[in-house]
């Protein structure tokens, strides 16, 4: 599995700081810097998901505009900037490309059940956790890594992956389950963003 | 209110995170997530995997005027806004908001269609691509006759509950049906059961009355 760890945007605290400056003062210089760090990766991600060049460019600009307008609601205790941007890109793809409506649970919903409150983590803890996550992804056995990549980079649900690869759905489900268990061990045990 | 005890499998939470679930299935999962902090943690973990894959993507070349084009648009009003809470259909204010939003546009109050003899009523929801969905309520003590499923079906309990040989399902719980499941779900004796179900192929009645019921079921 190819993980360009050395090229990854590793400076999570810097990204969070830039988003905070946009939220606090509509800081355009901060936005330009954030754009330079993130937009080329958002576009690359969309291209890998099969968007053509024009659409990937258009969606990338859309995503960065949403970042600008929503900077105030970004909560660094709940997500890293790249995770937040991933969800924005996902929702824009659903809304624009599939012409469906993206749906998310609404924290203001009277039915919303709160989880346990966690104390915020330090920048160092967040960085270490992110490194562990990259490591866990890189260490997945080949057949599990392949399925995870297909899940994120091909516009298909896991049931569709099974029929495309001519694998029994049960096999896909059990491989995914193993991969997810490994990742969850790092992710959910850690908690936090 | 207790948190749900029976959860969608991780495959569905992953599909939700990667944005590949058709909208009606995503609505069902988002309704469960509203009620279930544990599954929200799992879904968030999958978002983080997405974030990590985004971080490790090799930067792509942007259009030459990309940044300038976006900077120019910063002062315009946002085109993507957070939708206001949906208007609740009469008598349905207690549903999770993702589902309320999905039901916007149905006749208000919704029209319940009775299936004769078995205490089942359904609200039909327009077909969505390959997917169909409906609200279903079963009167207390009634059971849906033995049936199986020709495709993948997900169901979330919205009020009351039911039981079958796979377990007891209560509010917020998610059940999965496929061709291997043949069951006779029985509604809670006091509260009956209200649920939302989504499938990509229709449930099929089995047994002596099967052919008749398959014709009668408004699905």
Q: What value does the mean pLDDT take over residues B154-178?
A: 95
Return the pLDDT at A60.
98
Three-state DSSP at A123 gives: helix
Q: How far apart are CA A84 and CA B85, in angstroms?
A: 22
CA dihedral angle for residue A175, residue A179, residue A182, residue A187, rounded to 10 degrees? -140
What number of residues does chain A have? 193
Class in CATH terms, A5-101 = mainly alpha
The secondary element (H helix, E strand) that includes residue B91 is none
Give yes or no for residue A20 having a pLDDT over 60. yes
Residue-wise pLDDT tens digits, B171-181: 999 999 888 88
Contact B205, B118 (CB under 8 A): no
Domains of chain B, start order: 109-216 (2.60.120.10)
Could you tell me the two tokens for A46? 């969309």
Residue-wise pLDDT tens digits, B64-89: 999 999 999 999 888 777 777 778 88
Q: How far apart are CA B87 and CA B108, in angstroms?
A: 11
Q: What is the ipTM of this complex?
A: 0.91
**Shortest CB distance from A90 goes to which of B19, B60, B61?**
B19
Q: Are residues A45 and B57, on separate chains, in Cβ contact within 8 Å?
A: yes
Q: Which of B189, B164, B85, B47 lies closest to A183 in space, CA to CA?
A: B47
Average pLDDT, chain B: 89
Predicted confidence band of residue A165 (pLDDT cuts 50, 70, 90): confident
Percentage of chain A modeled with pLDDT above 70? 92
How far is residue B189 CA from its own chain's centroid?
24
- What's the CATH fold of domain A122-189? Arc Repressor Mutant, subunit A (1.10.10)
Q: Are residues A61 and B19, on separate chains, in Cβ contact within 8 Å?
A: no
Q: Is residue A118 within 8 angstroms of chain B, CB to CB?
A: no
Distances (CA, A) of A85 to B46, B71, B195: 13, 18, 34
Q: Which of B97, B154, B133, B23 lies closest to A94 in space, CA to CA?
A: B23
Give yes or no for residue A99 having a pLDDT over 90. no
Q: What value does the mean pLDDT take over residues A32-51?
A: 95
Return the pLDDT at A192.
56
Give yes or no for residue A139 having a pLDDT over 60. yes
Q: How far apart are CA B67 and CA B22, in angstroms?
A: 33
Contact A86, A108 (CB under 8 A): no
Interface test with B, best of A113, A135, A183 (most B CBs within 10 A): A113
Query: What are φ and ψ of residue A61, in 5° steps?
Result: -65, -40
C-alpha distance from A151 to closest chain B C-alpha (Å): 7
Return the pLDDT at B78.
81
Q: Which of B147, B153, B145, B167 lies closest to B195 in space, CA to CA?
A: B153
Three-state DSSP at A17 gives: helix
Cα–Cα–Cα angle for A178, A10, B54, rounded to 5 degrees:
55
Which range among A112-116, A164-168, B27-31, B84-88 has the greatest average pLDDT?
Answer: B27-31
Contact B116, B216 (CB under 8 A): yes
Q: Which residue of A lies nearest to B56 if distances are taken between CA atoms?
A: A8
Furthest-apart CA pair in chain B: how many Å? 70
Predicted confidence band of residue A79 (pLDDT cuts 50, 70, 90): confident
Q: What value does the mean pLDDT take over residues A159-173?
A: 86
Q: How far apart are CA A69 and CA A188, in angstroms?
A: 30
Predicted confidence band of residue A1 (pLDDT cuts 50, 70, 90): very low
Return the pLDDT at A7.
47
Q: Are residues A102 and B19, on separate chains, in Cβ contact within 8 Å?
A: yes
Please tell me which residue, A106 or B204, carries the higher pLDDT value: A106
- The 3-state DSSP composition of chain A as helix, strand, coil percent (nearest 5) reads 70, 0, 30
Could you tell me the two tokens for A105? 């649970």
Which range among A27-36, A91-100, B73-82 has the greatest average pLDDT?
Answer: A27-36
A contacts of B9 (beta carbons < 8 Å)? 173, 177
Residue showing tokens 């300038």: B68
Give yes or no for residue B216 having a pLDDT over 80. no
Domain ranges of chain A: 5-101, 122-189
Return the pLDDT at A62.
96
Q: How far apart are CA A35 and CA A23, in angstroms?
A: 15
Those residues whose C-beta lies under 8 Å from the C-beta of residue B176, and which sit 6 or more positions away, are B8, B9, B152, B153, B154, B155
Predicted confidence band of residue B219 (pLDDT cuts 50, 70, 90): very low
**Shortest CB distance from A87 goes to which of B23, B47, B67?**
B47
CB pairs under 8 A between A and B: 217
Please tell me which residue, A3 or B11, carries the higher pLDDT value: B11
Q: Which residue of B lies nearest to A187 if distances are taken between CA atoms?
A: B45
Return the pLDDT at A126.
80
- The 3-state DSSP composition of chain B as helix, strand, coil percent (nearest 5) reads 30, 25, 45
């Amino acid at each position: 599995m190819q993980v360009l760890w050395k090229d990854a945007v590793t400076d999570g605290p810097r990204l969070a700081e830039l988003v905070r400056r946009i939220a606090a003062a509509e800081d355009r210089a901060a936005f330009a810097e954030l754009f330079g760090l993130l937009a080329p990766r958002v576009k690359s991600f969309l291209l890998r998901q099969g968007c053509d060049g024009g659409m990937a460019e258009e969606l990338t600009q859309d995503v960065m505009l949403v970042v600008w307008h929503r900077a105030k609601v970004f909560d660094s205790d709940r997500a890293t900037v790249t995770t937040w941007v991933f969800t924005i890109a996902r929702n824009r793809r659903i809304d624009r490309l599939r012409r469906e409506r993206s749906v998310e649970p609404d924290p203001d919903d009277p039915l919303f059940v709160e989880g346990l409150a966690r104390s915020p983590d330090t920048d160092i803890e967040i960085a270490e956790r992110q490194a562990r996550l990259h490591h866990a992804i890189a260490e997945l056995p080949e057949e599990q890594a392949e399925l995870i990549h297909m899940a994120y980079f091909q516009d298909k649900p896991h049931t569709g992956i099974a029929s495309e690869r001519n694998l029994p759905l049960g096999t896909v489900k059990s491989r995914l389950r193993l991969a997810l268990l490994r990742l969850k061990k790092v992710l959910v045990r850690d908690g936090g963003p | 209110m207790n948190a749900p005890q029976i959860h969608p499998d991780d495959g569905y939470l992953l599909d939700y995170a990667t944005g590949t679930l058709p909208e009606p299935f995503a609505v069902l999962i988002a309704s469960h997530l509203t009620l279930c902090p544990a599954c929200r943690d799992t879904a968030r973990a999958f978002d983080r995997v997405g974030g990590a894959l985004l971080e490790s993507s090799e930067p792509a070349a942007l259009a030459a005027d990309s940044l300038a084009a976006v900077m120019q648009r910063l002062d315009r009003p946002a085109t993507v806004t957070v939708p206001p809470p949906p208007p609740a259909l009469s008598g349905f204010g207690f549903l999770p908001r993702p589902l309320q939003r999905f039901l916007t546009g149905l006749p208000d109050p919704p029209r319940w269609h009775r299936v004769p003899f078995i205490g089942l009523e359904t609200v039909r929801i327009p077909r969505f691509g390959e997917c169909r969905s409906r609200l279903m309520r079963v009167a207390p003590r009634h059971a849906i006759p033995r049936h199986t499923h020709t495709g993948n079906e997900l169901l979330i309990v919205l009020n009351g509950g039911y039981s079958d040989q796979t377990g007891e399902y209560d509010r917020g719980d998610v059940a999965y049906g496929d061709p291997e499941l043949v069951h006779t779900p029985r509604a809670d004796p006091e509260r009956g059961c209200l649920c939302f179900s989504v499938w990509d192929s229709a449930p099929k009645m089995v047994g002596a009355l099967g052919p008749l019921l398959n014709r009668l079921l408004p699905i």
